A and B are shown apart, each in its own frame.
Chain A
């Protein structure tokens, strides 16, 4: 029996391109993800009590400030939302142009993006953090606290 290899022309090779294309896209996707993550980290991430204390958490930089919306501080006027962020005994007034989305309310943790101007954070982006606590809605407690999140804080 003749088992010598066939000539090249008689045994055409079919390379499967789809996995190679997908692998290339995966590589590009990975680079995009890492680049976006790193570029989004340009804003200094500061807690309220780190403003003016921690390196970078000052007027020279655009900041992401994390804190809790103080109960009774929320005021919406025209298209502006004003509130006070508190964290670890320190507070910071925030002025946000617009109406924050998500479950924004008093007593929730938020991250406000913006710049410090005259001791006040002028923000153009608000992200609401929610805690890792899950509690059933209770109408009586909501009426007492005035805000759902504050009822959770008060326990």
Chain B
């Protein structure tokens, strides 16, 4: 159940989020400068390779976000005390994950036009990624269906635990099927990473930077969700109070 007491914070920021925010700005500034200025062009792809510093971290963070959603949902369902805090983390993470998934598809589409010659292909990797995005948009829609906060938490937790099973399908689609999309570079099963040193470092920095963005957004979003839930709850409390007053006056 929600706490009936008023929230103890007047904003969603804390000392921790401010530190994460500053770190995010520092790392992302480095990624932008290194990605656009310091890193070399690729021998085949030329300047278009720079899209990688946004595309790849976005995809990884989208995966991470959906996995966090599943873990938080599992905690909500299977823990003895069904804490709505887990539900809010799950919902916040899914929202951020959808945002990063959209960034992944848009940047991938631009990269595809420059390298493959096509914005879009019904290729296994692209198709499964689009399907994953549609699934999580559905998840977010389910969270907004009519019902109590507990109903919302239960319904969405079940969907999150099923939807996360799509992630291995997306990731290994380039292995299972013949795909236009290239296979993994960093997560090469043989550990043979074929990437220029500075490109690799910038990509790694991008992953760190995007992870910090993810953490910062989650911390704020789950707090705004708490405020929203408390506002809804206070509306219910006010309605009950009004009803009580009606009966007293009668």
CB distance A132 to B188 under 8 Å?
A: yes
| Selected interface stretch from A25-33, A55-63, A78-86 | A25-33
Whole-angstrom distance between the Cβ of A148 and the nearest chain B Cβ? 5
Cα(A108)–Cα(B52), bound, Å? 19
Chain A residues near B131 (CB-CB < 8 A)? 30, 33-34
Chain A residues near B194 (CB-CB < 8 A)? 132-135
Asked whether B6 is an interface residue with its Cβ less than 8 Å from the other chain, the reply is no
Cα(A39)–Cα(B198), bound, Å? 41
Smallest CB gap from B244: residue in A: A1
Chain A residues near B250 (CB-CB < 8 A)? 2
Given the interface contacts A15-B146, A22-B137, A36-B127, does A127 sit within 8 Å of B182 by beta carbon?
no
Given the interface contacts A134-B49, A148-B43, does A101 sit within 8 Å of B146 by beta carbon?
no
Chain A residues near B141 (CB-CB < 8 A)? 19-20, 22-23, 26
Interface-centre pick from A16, A101, A102, A151 (highest chain B CB count, 10 A): A102
CB distance A152 to B121 under 8 Å?
A: no
CB distance B182 to A129 under 8 Å?
A: yes
Q: List 28 A-B contacts (CB under 8 A).
A: A1-B247, A2-B247, A15-B146, A19-B143, A20-B145, A26-B141, A29-B134, A36-B127, A37-B122, A37-B124, A45-B178, A102-B113, A102-B114, A102-B115, A105-B44, A111-B180, A126-B117, A127-B118, A129-B116, A129-B182, A130-B116, A132-B194, A136-B41, A137-B41, A137-B43, A142-B43, A152-B43, A152-B44
Cα(A58)–Cα(B173), bound, Å? 26
Chain B residues near A88 (CB-CB < 8 A)? none
| B residues 225-250 touching A (CB-CB < 8 Å) | 243-244, 247-248, 250
Given the interface contacts A1-B248, A137-B46, does A104 sit within 8 Å of B117 by beta carbon?
yes
Chain A interface residues toward B at CB < 8 A: 1-3, 15-16, 18-20, 22-23, 26-27, 29-30, 33-34, 36-37, 39-41, 45, 66, 100-105, 108, 111, 126-138, 141-142, 148-149, 151-152
Chief secondary structure at chain A's binding surface: mixed
Given the interface contacts A26-B134, A103-B44, A148-B43, does A130 sit within 8 Å of B144 by beta carbon?
no
Cα(A2)–Cα(B144), bound, Å? 32
- Given A30-B135, A101-B116, 8 more contacts at CB 8 Å? A23-B141, A26-B141, A30-B131, A102-B117, A103-B44, A130-B44, A135-B43, A137-B43
Chain B interface residues toward A at CB < 8 A: 40-46, 48-49, 52, 113-118, 121-122, 124, 127, 130-131, 134-135, 137-138, 140-146, 178, 180, 182-185, 188, 194-196, 198-199, 243-244, 247-248, 250
Whole-angstrom distance between the Cβ of B206 and the nearest chain A Cβ? 14
Chain B residues near A18 (CB-CB < 8 A)? 144
Given the interface contacts A22-B137, A149-B43, does A131 sit within 8 Å of B178 by beta carbon?
no
Given the interface contacts A18-B144, A22-B141, A132-B184, does A137 sit within 8 Å of B122 by beta carbon?
no
Q: Which residue in B42, B48, B121, B195 is a CB contact (below 8 Å) of A127?
A: B121
CB distance B117 to A136 under 8 Å?
A: no
Q: Which residue in B43, B134, B145, B146 is a CB contact (below 8 Å) of A136?
A: B43
Chain A residues near B115 (CB-CB < 8 A)? 102-103, 128, 130
